[in-house]
Amino acid sequence: MTPSNEQSPTHARRRPVALVTGAAAALGLAAASLAGQAQAASTLTVAKDGSGMYTTVQAAVNAASAGDTISIAKGTYQEIVNVPTTKTGLTLRGASGNAEDVVITYDRAAGYTDASGNKYGTLGSSVATFSANNLTVTGLTVQNTFDKDAHPDITDTQAVAVTAQGDRQTFRNDRFISRQDTVLNWAPSATGQYRQYFYSSFVTGDVDFVFGNATAVYDRVNIQLRDSGAAAGGQNGFLSAPNTSSAKTYGILVTGSSITSSAAANTYYLGRPWHPSADAVGQLVIRQTSLPAAVKTAGPWTDMSGYSWKNARFFEYKNTGAGAGVNSNRPQLTDSQAASYTARKYLAGTDGWNPVG
């Protein structure tokens, strides 16, 4: 689980600009008019049947300019999508508004190899990589279909659906599906400001499937713990694995959400601390969220690679449901502490960003 920072090259298009002549030019308005046209945002359409401007999402991304909207028609798009840092302010939206209608999907794992025989690694396994700031993704499903049972020869089974590695990114009414490492909240610079807001969406997986070192908020999200077949009291998996830099106050927040599962009782940990470097001290709060019986109520946190969960920054606050509880292995925020661990506090950063609600 060691993402690299490789990016896929894309090319932005240049827009044709009409000449301004006559009275407008005489009045000195030509420059203003040209600037306005150059800044105008466009909507690019994608449809598999050829009825749109493009038949693949990546082709539209390549053609888009910063601030554009890409509207994707109903269909299943089998492709890898990369939105580079240059495409600031881009919006990707499912045209129907129903995330189940528009599916971006691919089968790729960290242990797969490219044409040169090199393993993709965790970051390279991602179906969709979003690197641009001020990005909005809405009404889409992103699914990594890698099946580890069908590939016993693959030992690196990380299979990322979405890598979010930009600042001020918003994901609304989306679905993200995989098993291991479904959503990577990534800060390419560990101490840099990278904030991601997930609202009214669906995320499912079984191993460390919400993870990373960025600041991420999951607000009113349905999180599903997949059943891997373990008997009651056994081990099905782990929801999260944050590796937040110790220099950051805020890592990952799950708030006002619903965690569900058909897995047997006491088979899931809420999280474990990913500790790939000395300064990684995972930070995670789960608050006012419904927890299923699948959660290990006696102790929902566990160690990772010899690093104790007690050294991480794991807290709960006023959770409910069959998997909720309070004991010495379940650190709780006080009411006064909880006031500092809200969606707005996590996302405000240095510029007061507030996408909440």
Q: Which residues on adjacent β-strands are paired with residue 175?
A: 141, 202
Does residue 139 have a pLDDT over 80?
yes
Q: Tell me 338's DSSP state.
A: H
The pLDDT mean for the chain works out to 91
Contact 69, 91 (CB under 8 A): yes
Instruction: Classify the C-alpha dihedral 60-65-66-68 as positive or negative.
Output: negative
Q: DSSP 3-state assignment of 72? A: strand
Domains of the chain: 43-348 (2.160.20.10)
Report DSSP letters for 272-329, one per residue: ----SSTTB--EEEEES-B--TTB-TT--B--BTTB-GGGSEEEEES-BSTT---STT
Task: Please pick, among 208, 227, 279, 303, the residue that the annotation labels catalytic.
Answer: 208
Amino acid at position 223, single letter: I
**CA-CA-CA-CA dihedral for 180, 98, 258, 295, to nearest 10:** -30
What mean pLDDT do residues 60-82 have? 98
Question: Does the pTM of the predicted model rise above 0.85?
Answer: yes
Write the pLDDT tens digit of every residue in 109-136. 999 999 999 999 999 999 999 999 999 9
Encode pLDDT of 294-317 as tens digits: 999 999 999 999 999 999 999 999
Could you read off the pLDDT of 251-295 as tens digits, one per residue?
Answer: 999 999 999 999 999 999 999 999 999 999 999 999 999 999 999
8 Å CB contact between 122 and 129: no
Residue 31: what pLDDT? 44
Instruction: Confirm whether 208 is a catalytic residue.
Output: yes
pLDDT of residue 4: 42
At 220-244, the pLDDT tens digits run 999 999 999 999 999 999 999 999 9
How would you class 150 by CB atoms within 10 Å of its CB: exposed for 0-12, middle for 13-18, buried for 19 or more? exposed
Q: Which of 167, 181, 206, 219 is catalytic?
A: 181
